[in-house]
Amino acid sequence: MRVRNGEDFIALAIESHLPWFDEIVVCHNRCTDGTVGILERLQNRYPDKLRVFEYAPRVHPAGSRQHRREHWRSVNSLANFYNFSLAKTRYRVAIKLDDDHVAIAEGVEQLTRTIREADHRLGKRMLCFSGINLVMREGKLGPLAYRPFAGHGDHWYFEVSPDTYFVQDRRFERFTRRGMQREYHGLAYWHLKYLKQGEGFSNYELDSNPDSRYGKQYLAYREGLRHIDFDELDRLGKERVRKGQGLFDKLRRRLDDKHRLKFERARQFDPDEARQWLEDASPALEAHLQTLPWRTDASADG
């Protein structure tokens, strides 16, 4: 886990994943909120499973001009920050975890069971999974209409080797897969990015990076800030699956990993299952939201 100013949900993220993980390595960078204090308390509580490190150099925000110009070996690059964090892990299989990912227990349990049944030997396999982006509207949590799914293949479990590392992309960091095959394994987390202070965009420093691609994303997010029903989400996905049965789309799935994983995500999605998972998770998530001091009645639907 690489984190900057993640105090809102980092404790939830860590404690929701610890039952299934052998360790969680957290590397924090230039935090100005309560993140470091929270990590110190959690480290005292879980000394055998939580390891915490500081990454001191300034890391240029993804989407900024400085990021686009930086070489991936530079200490100021996002890729180097990620590689520093990965190098601190001690186990055969690793996963990139974010400070706003709260585990869907059923999904994480299934994934980690699959890995242990394979004796932690994945070889060239990458076990990919998705999350659901949640927002609060009219006092209830639900999927974000603008972008309901978080990821279709950019979060994965993989076997660590000298060939698994990050390099710099003009947009963000990029993982070197080198022939590794991505397999889709369903939903495994609630993505709470849009429930954070600053609606999850603070670390992009948009005020000083007006041409950042994330500025456009923020505008699109605000325009689509409403819920989408799980049944509607399923209908749209299954419609894509039906349309994708033609020869052109079959060829695209063979040639384009991204298209194939989106197709598989839509095919596997179960709206009743997702709805029940959210009903089970909502009381604890809503109670936690009430503890965040910056949230007010006026911001409760933000």
* pLDDT tens for each residue of 104-132: 999 999 999 999 999 999 999 999 999 99
Say yes or no to pLDDT of 297 above 50. Answer: no
The dihedrals phi and psi of 168, each to the nearest 5 degrees, come to: -85, 130
Say yes or no to pLDDT of 241 above 80. Answer: no
34 and 152 inside one domain? yes
pTM of the prediction?
0.94
The dihedrals phi and psi of 130, each to the nearest 5 degrees, come to: -125, 170
Identity of residue 302: G
Owning domain of residue 264: 229-269
Give the closest residue to 28 by CA, choosing from 62, 4, 60. Answer: 4
Strand partners, 144: 227
Q: How far apart are CA 208 and CA 205, in angstroms?
A: 6
Band of residue 153 on the pLDDT scale cut at 50, 70, 90: confident
170 and 244 inside one domain? no
126 and 262 inside one domain? no
159 and 143 inside one domain? yes
Q: Mapping DSSP to helix (H, G, I), strand (E, B) and coil, where does residue 260 land?
A: helix
Band of residue 3 on the pLDDT scale cut at 50, 70, 90: very high
32 and 178 inside one domain? yes
Task: Kindly report the CATH number assigned to the domain that includes residue 219.
Answer: 3.90.550
* pLDDT tens for each residue of 9-65: 999 999 999 999 999 999 999 999 999 999 999 999 999 999 999 999 999 999 999
Give a yes or no: residue 302 inside a domain. Answer: no
185 and 259 inside one domain? no
Total count of domains within the chain: 2
187 and 249 inside one domain? no
Give a yes or no: residue 295 inside a domain. Answer: no
Band of residue 298 on the pLDDT scale cut at 50, 70, 90: very low
141 and 242 inside one domain? no
pLDDT at 16: 98
175 and 240 inside one domain? no
